[in-house]
Structure 1
């Protein structure tokens, strides 16, 4: 019978074990698990040895959460690299840390008065993703026969059940593997539909669609309808797709029966994209009911994997309880088998450029945030004026407009230094914007005769709309700065007006104006909310 307490006085057994593991990694190998298990059984003859995958049983994480205790066995019998971890931000108050990346280590482990030895080994195998395996050693009890230790099995069942759940985390799939991300979960905390300015009918329908799906499992069953659904959020960048997904994640997590979220960064992995797609749906089926987020769907699903992806979506295996949300800036780039086939993605929500009422509501949102500030005067009637000045702006550019304007106010600017009053141009062609943000050519009377055949039309310029300013607001500093910054943003849009390519063409089909074209080209390929999904 083995005795863990005896190892406190004599670590020679641990050293001999480490020597055997080192010899294995110093030569040719076929089965790492078998070789290390043989070393452990030889060096610990009084113990049952159980090999597990850390991805299924994070025993150290289970102990860190307070359900067990783990004490690392120090000495020379370990293999680790110590790295410097800088503060999260250069100006942050958190202190730098030193962190060990352990490739081979051992711990004394206690759970419910049962004592174990735990070995963890991390290694790279040719043409495979890195592997992290752990070996649980339990003292062999007298009279107990069998291949596995009952005490170890009880520990693995408890730890496995804990690891299968998310604990203030979101599952992120990247590089062919799942990771639990607290950073991504933290980034959605506080996200509320109250902060999402959208067409009220569309917002209500989207909320009802998602919440209703998870509320009505029995209804789907009674109607003999598969309990699965897919939604596509599409439109030019900066008009609320990402913030709507954040609000969905947060509100689903706060339900009486919390719904987990799974976020897909990429299908890329060394085993191939088909393997990645299979792993994604395998996990989603285990986590159901769940929200499966496929951001930038048009770039995720490529021609060579489309059929395999659709087979998984159609559910040769049951997809009950899975609600898929795919987002895209380029609806026309999606294959019709995805975009136009019901029962795969059933509904499409178009996030258009905000109209005047929505822009005014967004201004009210900022006004409420600043209602108690004594740094800026923000009267309510200013909201409708700004809404008229920013015709054709996306929500992202409205946010940029307010951020840079408020910073200018804080720095003592008045707006008069660079404000240009746009006067009516009677003899030049100019560009006006209709209420939907669509560009229209407007020609002044008598101007057409001046253009000779074959002469190139002058470049169209985006201009700040002429808006009547009430006498009470003419000296308002914030309004003057907002007008100035609006002009500068329009000039920035003009500078990209001759850009070509897929993004521009997609924008023309999706909204048709120069602003849309600009917003599309400014969109960057990045993961959800700019969070990498990796936790320390």
Structure 2
């Protein structure tokens, strides 16, 4: 459908460029209003719905519905500003050198400034999109233009977009400047299994209970006249299972998950915190994940964060799960106030029994791949595993995993060159010696080795610090 030029201008008049130039040059007091006026001049007899929501993702919605769109071009249409990006699939999953006959990566074309047209629900739309910067930060405007007696058709399209935006389908909400839906993180979560998480039995049982029972206990909280919200903090050095536990928690829940990478936003961290908790309240009941809490909360935002976490507004139905590698960096007002993070789990370096269990699982996996492990020196996997666990005192699960991964990579490299593989036991011991030089001994192995003031007023045992309301 052709777009008519403004009546007072020639066909080559590029009002998009002029309008945005005014915005970029600071000559426009209200860029949104002026751009709307330009659109209105283009279409004086049509319905126009204006949206200034920077998160309004009409393009993503149309793609999800397989609705084709065409970017308009021609003498009567102002110049378009399109953006080409490489497809995520090629960037994430392709490996190795490029062959001469290989299909080049697919390119995704999106419109940054300009107009495209679609047919949706028996209505033809011209959709204008604009991006610019002002003193508040990145700005965005969308205008739906269509021919009708009223705005019903456009309103239905807007409602459909927002409904799609608010609905997760094999996705996880991720906050990084703005909220977006992430399929890749959802897929990563699906591989998590509690049986593959190596924790002391009582700790695994309590952690599963505290996260699963919460969403079935609204009536219990109500009968006790207690706010239906919980906070769980996972504490420990990197590589000891905190992230894997979170994956299992998310997979086992039947509620939406919201994952926070940063408090930063185009309007500043306080606005980011507000956007995070607003979305959580809208999505409740839900799980809100705050990974590396000590790096998220800064002194300038601490009070604002506390107010959102435990202020006047209701966080009904929100289970907040946070992690930290450095509890000593977290303010006592966050760490020790029971109504904020009621339950704390300490992920210590694995004990010898846990290392033995973890190593045995890896050895069985290697055996299933055809690697010969047993021999004269260690006639059973159990005996070899016990010796490995003895030699890896002070190792985290991450280092133990690296031990077997590096061993497999070395074997694969030998096979690719036609060289015979060496003795499995001695090769693994060699990797133990090499990696052992990198392992940092000295991380706290029990809560008692941590600063005792971190857990004032909380019950303790050797592997778990917890305060459970219904105990």
Distance 1:94 1:266 in 2: 37
Q: What is the alpha-carbon distance in structure 1 between the residues aligned to residue 143 and residue 412 of structure 2?
A: 60
Match of 1:25 in 2: 20
- Partner of 1:303, secondary structure, is coil
Distance 1:26 1:362 in 2: 61
Q: Is the 8 A contact 1:406 1:478 kept in 2?
A: no
User: Does residue 210 of the first structure (1) align with residue 211 of the second (2)?
Assistant: yes
- Specify the alignment match of 1:132 in structure 2: 140
Secondary structure class of the residue paired with 1:137: strand
Match of 2:306 in 1: 310
Q: Select which of 147, 150, 155 maps to 1:153.
A: 155
Q: In the TM superposition, what whole-angstrom CA distance separates every residue of 1:303-360 from its partner, at most 9, and x where no partner exists?
A: 2221111111113111011111111111222111111110100000010111111111
2:171 aligned partner: 169
The question of whether the paired residues in 2 share the 8 Å contact of 1:236 and 1:510 is answered with: no
Structure 1 residues 313-322 or 483-492, which shifts more?
A: 483-492
Contact 1:128–1:271, Cα closer than 8 Å, also in 2 = yes
Structure 2 CA distance for partners of 1:307 and 1:282, relative to 1, 3 Å: same
Cα deviation, residue 482, structure 1: 2.2
Structure 1 residue 69: Cα displacement: 4.5
Shift of 1:209: 0.8
Give the secondary structure class of the aligned counterpart of 2:263. coil
Contact 1:376 1:409 in 2 (8 A): no
Pair 1:283–1:409, CA change in 2 (3 A): same
Contact 2:231 2:339 in 1 (8 A): yes
Bigger mean CA offset, 314-323 vs 219-228: 219-228
1:371 deviates by 3.7
Q: 1:87-139 CA deviation, whole Å, 9 max, x = no partner?
A: 414527773233445322222222221222211112222x3332232101121
Aligned counterpart for 1:488 among listed residues 434, 440, 453: 434
Compute the displacement of 1:36 (Å). 1.6
Closer/same/farther in 2, CA of residues 340 and 78 from structure 1, 3 Å limit: same
Aligned residue in 2 for 1:225: 226
Q: Secondary structure at the match of 2:159?
A: helix
Secondary structure in structure 1 of the residue aligned to 2:393: coil
Structure 2: which 5+ runs fail to align? 375-379, 416-421, 451-471
Q: Among 354, 357, 362, which residue is 1:361 paired with?
A: 357
Indicate the SS of the match to 2:437: helix
Give 1 or 2 for the bigger CA radius of gyration. Answer: 1
Q: Distance in 2 between matches of 1:26 and 1:72?
A: 21
For the residues of structure 1 that align with 2:82 and 2:125, how far apart are their CA atoms? Answer: 25
- Give yes or no for contact 2:373–2:425 (8 Å, CA) kept in 1: no
Within 2, Cα distance between the matches of 1:79 and 1:403? 50
> How many positions carry a matched residue from both structures?
421
C-alpha contact 1:16 1:43 (8 A) present in aligned 2: no
| Whole-angstrom distance in 2 between the partners of 1:491 and 1:84 | 43
1:262 and 2:258 matched: yes
Give the Cα–Cα distance (whole angstroms) in 1 for the partners of residues 398 and 103 of structure 2: 31
Q: Distance in 2 between matches of 1:68 and 1:128?
A: 33
Counterpart for residue 91 of structure 1: 96
Aligned counterpart, 2:397: 395
Aligned residue runs from structure 1 range 303-452, under 5 A: 303-377=299-373, 379-381=380-382, 382-411=384-413
Superposition map of 1:45-64 within 5 A: 45-53=44-52, 55-64=54-63
1:50-88 per-position Cα deviation (integer Å, ceiling 9, x unaligned)? 111454542222221127443332336343254463841
| Cα distance per residue 1:1-35 (max 9 Å; x no partner) | xxxxxx2xx44449969722322223311212211
Report the counterpart of residue 35 of structure 2 in structure 1.
Answer: 36
Distance in 2 of aligned mates of 1:491 and 1:90: 30
Query: Contact (CA 8 Å) 1:408, 1:481: kept in 2 or not?
Result: no
Match of 1:66 in 2: 65
- Tell me if the contact between 1:121 and 1:133 (Cα under 8 Å) persists in the aligned partners: yes
Moved more, 340-349 or 36-45: 36-45
1:96 counterpart SS class:
coil
Over 3 Å counting, the alpha-carbon distance change for 1:22 and 1:84 in structure 2 is: closer
Local SS of the residue matching 1:361? helix
Contact 1:80–1:100, Cα closer than 8 Å, also in 2: no
The equivalent of 1:449 in structure 2 is none
TM-score by length of 2: 0.81
**Shift in Å, 1:261:** 1.5
- Match of residue 121 from structure 1: 130
Structure 1 residues 322 and 508: alpha-carbon distance in aligned structure 2, compared to 1, 3 A threshold: same
8 Å CA contact retained: 1:174, 1:265: yes
> Once the 2 structures are TM-superposed, how far is the Cα of residue 374 of structure 1 from its aligned partner?
1.8
- Aligned partner of 1:110 in structure 2 is 119
335-344 or 265-274: which moved more? 265-274
Residue 183 of structure 1 corresponds to 184
Separation (CA, whole Å) in 2 of partners of 1:90 and 1:411: 16
Normalised TM-score (structure 1): 0.72
Uncovered stretches (5+) of structure 1, i.e. residues with no partner: 1-6, 253-257, 414-475, 498-503, 514-536
Distance 1:84 1:271, change over 3 A: closer
Q: Are the equivalent residues in 2 in contact too, given 1:104–1:122 (CA < 8 A)?
A: yes
